């Protein structure tokens, strides 16, 4: 395990210190990361392909078990407490962050896990509602905390599926499996090529050479449950329903070729056709992107990122003027091979492939342009492919490889 950054070591120290101040004794510490999806957007809930990486930004929870069924947690970020009884679960409308923990408790108990109560402290540095999947990080970290406190074990893939179910059933967001899966299963120095139908996956080494990925936060948040996310999902389902009437065995847009879609165009509403065209072409782009990484062709990878953004903007209509501004400015910088929105869209972040020696120029140009357009300073995160969720030890938490952190 690569030595953690000094910043992350300090985060864990403060977390444990706060735990001891409140509860005394030594806690169990778990972490679960956010993610950046390199390409493959809105394909996961269509049984398609995605290519995310786990990132170093994460949620950390320090806990110890209780002898009863009460769960009591304090959030450093929100300076608030949440408390509930595992035998009488009710939503916390005042402190919504606590509902992710409740959702995981529901799913684990539904799976037959015998949970103990627990008490502890939560801290995270994944920007909330930014498109870097703070919700999945919270769900997976909560799941690991329950398992550690209760001395239960759940196979990693199954925990990811439970975390997805918590988001759908308890938070009301009909998300796909990608965010929770890579948060649990990510691997240092690798992208995770995931088949969202079978949950088969391949760890694809990323040979970045002189390049890095930069996530740029528009600072315009988007709340998935209140956005057009569920509407897009319904439109995809409408496309599947119409296409399956042609006799072909179609269960999801994953099963549709571009040729089939074009042949059925006249039978689809224009908006439904456009939504389907994005998903079908995006699945193809993900597979091309994996081949590009394996072949060390970062220029092609960047080109595919650009095409993905255009499709998300025009066919799927989940971009925003702010995201388009960031992408356009990024592409104006020499040494930027590609840029696209990442996450569900409607706000949040972009991801760009940038040459290391052009990072200062990139931040300066994109920052100045965005400040002029929106009177906001964007946040920049240099992202390396990090480890997925796990238990922390006295030596530190799972982190990136030395090569990726350089």
**Right CATH for 211-383 from 3.40.30.20, 3.40.630.30, 1.10.357.10, 3.30.70.890:** 3.30.70.890
* pLDDT > 90: percent of the chain: 84
3-class SS of residue 64:
strand
Tens digit of pLDDT for each residue in 221-230?
A: 765 545 688 8
pLDDT at 174: 78
Q: Which residues pair with 313 in a beta bridge?
A: none
pLDDT at 405: 28
6-206+385-405 and 211-383: identical CATH topology = no
Identify which of 342, 274, 275 has the alpha carbon closest to the alpha carbon of residue 309.
342
Cα 323 to Cα 55: distance, rounded to the nearest angstrom = 21
- Residue ranges of the alpha helices (H) in 264-358? 270-294, 298-314, 321-331
Catalytic residues: 179
Region of poorest pLDDT, from 120-134, 193-207, 268-282: 120-134
Average pLDDT for residues 35-64, to the nearest whole number? Answer: 96
Cα 398 to Cα 31: distance, rounded to the nearest angstrom = 8
**Crossing angle (nearest 10°) for helices 156-169 and 134-150:** 120
Cα 81 to Cα 92: distance, rounded to the nearest angstrom = 10
Average pLDDT for residues 38-67, to the nearest whole number? Answer: 96
pLDDT at 128 over 70: yes
Average pLDDT for residues 353-382, to the nearest whole number? Answer: 97
**Neighbour tally for 9: CB within 10 Å:** 15
The overall average pLDDT reported for the chain is 92
pLDDT at 129: 74
Check the CA dihedral 74-78-80-83 and report its sign: negative
Q: Answer yes or no: CATH 2.20.25.240 is held by domain 6-206+385-405.
A: no
Tens digit of pLDDT for each residue in 231-243?
A: 999 999 999 999 9
Would you kindly state where each structural domain of the chain is located, as residue ranges? 6-206+385-405, 211-383
CA max distance for the chain: 67
pLDDT at 401: 36
Check the CA dihedral 331-333-338-339 and report its sign: negative
| Residue-by-residue DSSP string for 351-379 | EEEEEGGGHHHHHHHHHHHHHHHHS-PPE
Cα 123 to Cα 76: distance, rounded to the nearest angstrom = 5
Measure the CA angle with vertex 331, ends 328 and 336; round to 5°: 150
Average pLDDT for residues 374-389, to the nearest whole number? Answer: 94
pTM of the model: 0.91
Region of poorest pLDDT, from 34-43, 81-90, 357-366, 397-406: 397-406
Tens digit of pLDDT for each residue in 302-355?
A: 999 999 999 999 999 999 999 999 999 999 999 999 999 998 888 889 999 999
pLDDT at 154 over 90: yes
Confidence of residue 30 (pLDDT cuts 50, 70, 90): very high
């Amino acid at each position: 395990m690569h030595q953690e950054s000094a910043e992350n070591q300090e985060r864990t120290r403060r977390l444990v210190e706060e735990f001891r101040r409140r509860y005394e004794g030594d806690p169990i510490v778990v972490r679960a990361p956010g993610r950046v999806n390199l390409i493959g957007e809105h394909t996961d809930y269509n049984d398609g392909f995605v290519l995310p990486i786990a990132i170093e930004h994460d949620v950390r929870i320090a806990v110890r078990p209780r002898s009863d069924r009460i769960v009591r947690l304090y959030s450093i970020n929100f300076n608030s407490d949440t408390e509930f009884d595992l035998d009488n679960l009710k939503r916390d409308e005042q402190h919504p962050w606590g509902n992710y923990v409740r959702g995981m408790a529901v799913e684990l108990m539904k799976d037959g896990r015998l949970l103990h109560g627990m008490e502890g402290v939560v801290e995270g540095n994944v920007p909330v509602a930014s498109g870097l999947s703070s919700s999945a990080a919270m769900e997976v970290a909560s799941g690991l905390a329950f398992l550690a406190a209760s001395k239960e074990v759940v196979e990693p893939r199954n925990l990811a599926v439970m975390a997805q179910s918590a988001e759908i059933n308890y938070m009301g967001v009909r998300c796909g499996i990608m965010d929770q899966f890579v948060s649990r299963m990510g691997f240092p120095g690798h992208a995770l090529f995931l088949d969202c139908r079978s949950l088969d996956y391949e760890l694809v080494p990323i040979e970045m050479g002189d390049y890095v990925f930069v996530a740029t936060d528009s600072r315009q948040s988007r709340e998935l449950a209140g956005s057009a996310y569920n509407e897009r999902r319904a439109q995809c389902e409408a496309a599947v329903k119409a296409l399956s009437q042609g006799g072909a065995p179609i269960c999801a847009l994953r099963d549709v070729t571009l040729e089939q879609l074009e042949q059925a165009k006249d039978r689809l509403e224009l908006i439904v056709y456009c939504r389907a065209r994005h998903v079908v072409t995006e699945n193809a782009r993900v597979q091309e992107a994996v081949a590009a990484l394996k072949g060390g062709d970062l220029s092609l990878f960047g080109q595919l990122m650009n095409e993905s953004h255009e499709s998300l903007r025009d066919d799927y209509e989940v971009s925003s003027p702010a995201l388009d501004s960031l992408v356009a400015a990024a592409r104006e910088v020499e040494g930027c091979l590609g840029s696209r929105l990442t996450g569900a869209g409607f706000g949040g972040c972009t991801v760009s492939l940038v040459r290391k020696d052009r990072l200062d120029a990139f931040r300066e140009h994109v920052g100045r342009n965005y400040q002029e357009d929106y009177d906001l300073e964007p946040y920049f995160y240099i992202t390396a492919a990090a480890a997925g969720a796990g238990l922390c030890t006295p030596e530190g938490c799972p982190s990136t490889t030395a090569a990726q952190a350089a």
